[in-house]
Each structure stands twice: as structure tokens, then as C-alpha cells.
Amino acid sequence: MKIAILGGGPAGLYFAISMKLRDAAHEITVYERNRPDDTFGWGVVLSDETMGNFGENDPVSEAMIRQNFAYWDDIKVVRGDDSMTSGGHGFCGIGRMKLLLLLQERARDLDVTLNFETEMDEVRIADLKASHDLVVAADGLNSRVRKTYADRFGAQIDLRRNHFVWLGTKQKFDDAFTFIFEQTEHGWIWAHAYQFDDDTATFIVECGPETYLAFGFDTLSQADSIALCERIFARHLGGHSLMTNANHIRGSAWIQFPRVTCESWHFDNVVLLGDASATAHFSIGSGSKLGMESAIALADELNAGKRLSQALADYQQARQLQVLRVTSAARNSTEWFEEVERYLDLDLTQFTYSLLTRSQRIGHENLRLRDPEWLGNAESWFQSRAGSQSRRRPMFAPFKLRDMVLENRVVVSPMAQYKAVDGNPTDWHFVHYAERAKGGAGLVFTEMLCVSPEGRITPGCPCIGPDQEAAWRRLNDFIHAETDAKICAQIGHAGRKGSTRLAWEGIDKPLIEGNWPLISASALPYLPESQTPKAMDRADMDRIKAQFVAAVQTADRAGFDMIEMHAAHGYLLASFISPVTNLREDEYGGDLENRMRYPLEVFAAMRGAWPASKPMTVRISAHDWMGDDGVTPEDAVRIAALFHQAGADAINVSSGQTSKDEKPVYGRMFQAPFSDRIRNELGVPTLVAGNIYEPDHVNSILMAGRADLVLLARPHLADPYWTLHAAVELGDTAQAWPAPYEGGRRQANTLAERAKAMA
């Protein structure tokens, strides 16, 4: 093949090398706009795993790179006068300029033609496209090729919030990758510092836009900007200066990170590589890694005997998921630093844990593998804050709300069963909830218990009133007598989402016959085929509020330990809160304070009817997934604050299900960021669910301070004894089992210990 590579960075050079290794007859030319020894970064971070990939692909260049590495094992967090170090992280760094020179040397040895100081424009790019079999756009995040053919790649560029400047220093940071957080007269500013050769370290300075503007970095020259950074970080620089290699840039050289994503990475004989196709934030140090590993994959596909179009399509398919995983982790890390001031008041142990796990690539047990002593001390700190002297994992720490004390932080999430008869719970409910209480969770939620027959979602949904009191009392008496679990009644009204079929008969579809009248904040049907609800008037509001109060009184008599008001997922109370479902023009519609008026009125009535010694929570939708048209995470903070001020002991943070037009973004623990924000901006206890299915998820959410209680739904459908089995999996022999199951506990722990020993 005759190949033109535009961009002489690590990705472009490594692709040239990889192609030549597979077929020396390839005719490859690299075009680079800068000089051979120009570079505008300082160090490149690579992991042991990445170096293993490089060794399999080209042992020669891998050895050349490895001989020039600076290694470190620790991550050090410095916040003001305090510091904390965690080990076992296994990174290595190399100067970016050194890496480029080594790859240039290897490429020349393989007969790759390197052309430097060569500018490209649209005409030149088109000429190369016409005269070559393949044009590889490895020309970085500001790719000229991607801009030239913008309509073919579907690029989206998200300019992130924070500002940063990439500097270097002769100060030594060779003992650890160091994060330094300094509080200044204009807010917090921080540095990412790491060694990359014997005498030079990268020193990236970052801050939020308010601090950036307050210091005037936007108007300073580079020299003045650097001098100011030297003053801010003087006690960490040991008299050494900060250096720039961006003298070609006017102004202070501070920039904002552009997050690049592309729908397509190729068309005709043009393909994007590295940062041209997707960018990973510098805070996880994976940009060069991604580009070079993608170079290997592209070379493999192009030398597999396929048509060019098929090879390029297979390359994108093979790499896109892995790149997405890394860039998603990078997005998590980016957002953590954008919101870092939310966490800076946390205890340094929890702050460090939050930083280490910010990308979600590193979990709780992975940290134990890296530094068991540090994590053990962190777990002891967490337990002591919970009033325990144990060294067990965070999920097994007690938790108290008012007079209710939970044995652990695992919660069985509300899950509709659709097995009630005429609003009455049946033996199914008794067995279902009793089994999960026996399974070790600290708290068990009921599904939404409806305040009236007309408030049901389906004919199979249970109610809570005098007619159901005995059945719920029987269940609660059993749970309290036979288990350590506490039980919460979630109380709500379906609103416009009522009068529908059982889930397995057509979820959200209206009943074929026997429909009952619906009410909501506004006369808007949920689906086009749904019944149009009546917009509630004041008489309706008074009647429904009285039903909620009666439900609370029944819950108390039935022996529930806690109640939750359901104000999420588009049900009746949620329909007032969301602007998507509340189009009222009276005092209950309009701005958020008005939309919250009726839900707060109902909450106050419920709280007044519930014993002061017992806790009450509220479930909210923190995101309607409807852009600015619905409730946003910013709104959710205000919603949570209003409920907390009214007496809510904790906020159960959920999202979505307000409208079928929603566009949710799912992923592991996808609702944890909403909980995190509410908990740490308001100082309010939170509960969270949402694609949480491993003990590691639970422990990392708790330890990082993203929630106080963690709800699991589907895992508890699959395994009522999830908590007991998680304890066995984690080697936690302190977990109590029901007395009749003691033999099973001993055997499970013995088998787990045997399997561990054999492994």
C-alpha cells in the first residue's frame, strides 16, 4: 500500500512502524507540520499492561522506550498542609520529546519517510487522498483532515469547563504521582505532577473558570502566568522554576480540554487515528496509549487480506468499544475535577479514595490489591465514623436515621411485583419480602404502596389502608422477630401512569377493560393511547392529601420502621415537580418553587402523621433525561434541599420515567453522580440505585461518599440472599445468618476459603 500519514505524533509514527513490521513493501510517508524535536507536552504516562501490548507488537521499540522510563508506584495527595500516599499503582513515564525521537529513529530504520515542517491544507489533503491508497489522519485533536471532511465523520466537540496549562519543572517528583491542591484568595487551584526522566517532571496546573478569571490568567502573558503559578506552588517547587514549551502560543497558554467523539472514523480511503477520532482527558493519561494501541489494531486489519472498506469498518468496530471505555472513564475523571470543590471538605482519607476511584476504572477490591494496608486503614476510618470498631468493608457499616439503626448499608430496592388482588398483598408478598429480609440486607423497601385503588399503577399493585393493615402487620412482625432487617413502606399514587396492564402483559399500556379515572398535575396522557387524566383541582388535592395521611397512619399501626414518599418517575407527586408534566398556570405551576408547593404540602402532612422517632425519606427523579425541558441535576439539588428543609431525613435519588421521550444515558452506577452531587453539595444523606450489581460497586459508592445507602433491585430478584453471599465472596465471616442456616454459613465460608487457597 501507498500510505500518507498526516501527523508525526506517537500514534502516527507507531502506525507507520506497525505497518512496516507486517509488510516491509508498504510505501509510507509521514507528514508533520512541526520540527522533529518540537513538542508541546512534557511527559507521557504508560501502564505495564500497555507496555506488554507494545512488546508483543514490536519488541525493538518497546525496549527502546522502556530503557528511558521513569517509574513510580505511589500516588500522593497533598491538600494544604496535609498529605496522604497510596501505593501499588505501577505507572511509568517518558518524556514526550524522547518518545517521539525514539519512534522517529525506529521508523527510519524501517524505511519510513518522515517529512517535517510540512503544512497541510484542503487542496494538499485532497491530492494525497487521490494519489495514495490510504490517508491516515493522525493529526491530533485539532485534526485538519477531520475539519476538511467534517460532514463525513460526524464529529462532536465538547469544550470542558476547567482551564489548565501544561508546564514542566526540574523539581523532583520521583517518589509518587502527586496531586497538589492549594486554597488561594481566589479559590482552589491544583497541580498534577509526575517525573518522566531523571531530572524533569510534568507539572499541569488546573482550576475552575471562576478561579481562572479571578486571577486574570486570561489576560496574562506566559511569563507572568508562570510566575504566578510559581508563587502559588512555591512550597512544593523547592526553589525550582516552572517551564513552558509553548512559546509559539500567544497569551498565557491556558486552554480548556476539548472532548472529541466521532460517529464514523473513516470514509473512502481516509481514516482517523488517535486524538483525531477520540480524546481522553489528561487526568487519566491515556491519550498516547489509545492512539498507539489503535495503531496496532489498524495495522492488523489492513494486513488481514480484506478489502480496504471492510478493513476500515472492522478496525472501527474492533476499537470503538475499547476507546469508548477509556474515554468514558476519562469523562468521569474530567467531571470529578470540574466538581472537585464539592469534595475538598471531605476527610482526607475519603477525599483520597474519591480521587483514586474517580474514573470508575479502579474499584474497591482493586485498591486492596494495590495497597491493602492503606485500604484497611480507610475502612477502619469509615467504620469508626459509623460508630463501629470493626475493619469490615463499608457495606457492612451500621447506619442510623432518627431512632432506626441499620445493621448494614445494603438495601433491597422497591420492585413492583404485580401480584396483589384487589389492592391486597398476598402470600407472594409475604414470601418475597420475608426472604429478602432473611437475606442479610439492612433495609427492605416495599414496592410502591398505593394510597387508594384509583392510585394503583395496575390491578396487581398493592394498597395501604385499613383493609391491608393486618397483612402488612403479619409481614413486619415476622421480619422483626426473625431477622435484623428493617422495613420501609414506599407510599405513592400513580397519577397519569395508572390504570395499566401488568408488566408482562404490556408495560404502561392502558387496560383493555375496567379502566378507572386518572388524575395528574395537568391533563396530559402518558402515551398517545393512554387515558387523558383530569388536571387536579383544590378539592382533588385535599382528598389525595388525606389519603396519603391515612396511608401513613396505617403504616405506623402495621409496624413499618420507615416510610418513603414517592415523588419520582412521573407518578402523581412527581407530575407536579417536572415542567414536562406540569403545565399549570395557577400557584401550583410555573417556576420550581410553585411546582414544589403541593408535593411539599403532602410531605408536611405525612411527616406530621408519622412518629417523630421514625425516619421518612423522599424518592425524587434527579434527571428527566429531557435536556433543559425537564428536571435537570441542577434542579434536583434545589428539590432535595426543599424536601430536606421540610424534614426529609434522606433523599432517595433516582431518575427518568417521566416521559417516553426521555433519552437516558445508562452505565454502571449511572445514578451515583446525581446522588453524589446532592449529598456533597447539601450535606444531606442519600440513597441510590441504578445498575449496581457487585459488592465492589456498593463499597466504592459508600467509601467515596457518593451515597449513604445503596439499593439493589435486579440482583435481589436473582438472589434474595445477595448480602449473605456477598459476605462469603469477600471473606467476611462476621456476617450474621439466620440461626437455622448456620450450617449453610459454615459450609459456604469453608468452600470459599478452599477455593481461595487453591487459586
What are the residue numbers of the active site?
571
Q: 491 — phi, psi (to 5°)?
A: -115, 130
Inter-residue contact 397 to 702 (CB < 8 Å): yes
Closest C-alpha to 488, from 474, 467, 472: 472
Task: Indicate the SS3 state at residue 138.
Answer: coil
Sequence letter at residue 593: E
Give every strand in the sheet of 2-6, ordered side by side: 113-115, 27-31, 2-6, 134-137, 270-272, 266-267
Cell of 622: 434527579
Tell me how far CA of residue 136 lies from CA of 108, 144, 168, 323, in angstroms: 18, 12, 31, 18
Cell of 648: 426529609
The whole-angstrom separation of Cα 18 and Cα 32 is 18
8-state DSSP, 137: E
8-state DSSP, 713: S
Q: How many angstroms separate the most distant Cα atoms in the chain? A: 86
Q: 100 — phi, psi (to 5°)?
A: -65, -45
The whole-angstrom separation of Cα 571 and Cα 521 is 10
Q: What is the 3-state secondary structure (H, E, C) of 317-335?
A: HHHHHHHHHHHHHHHHHHH
The whole-angstrom separation of Cα 667 and Cα 690 is 8
R_g (Cα) of the chain, nearest Å: 30
The whole-angstrom separation of Cα 160 and Cα 279 is 12
Pairing of strands 91-95, 70-72: antiparallel
The whole-angstrom separation of Cα 511 and Cα 325 is 42
Inter-residue contact 325 to 335 (CB < 8 Å): no
Closest C-alpha to 599, from 672, 661, 528, 548: 548
Q: 406 — phi, psi (to 5°)?
A: -95, 145
H or E stretch including 619? Answer: strand 616-621
The whole-angstrom separation of Cα 537 and Cα 250 is 63
Inter-residue contact 443 to 709 (CB < 8 Å): yes
The whole-angstrom separation of Cα 100 and Cα 116 is 13
Residues 6+ apart with CB under 8 A from 450: 423, 456, 457, 461, 462, 463, 464, 492, 493, 494
Task: Indicate the SS3 state at residue 455.
Answer: helix
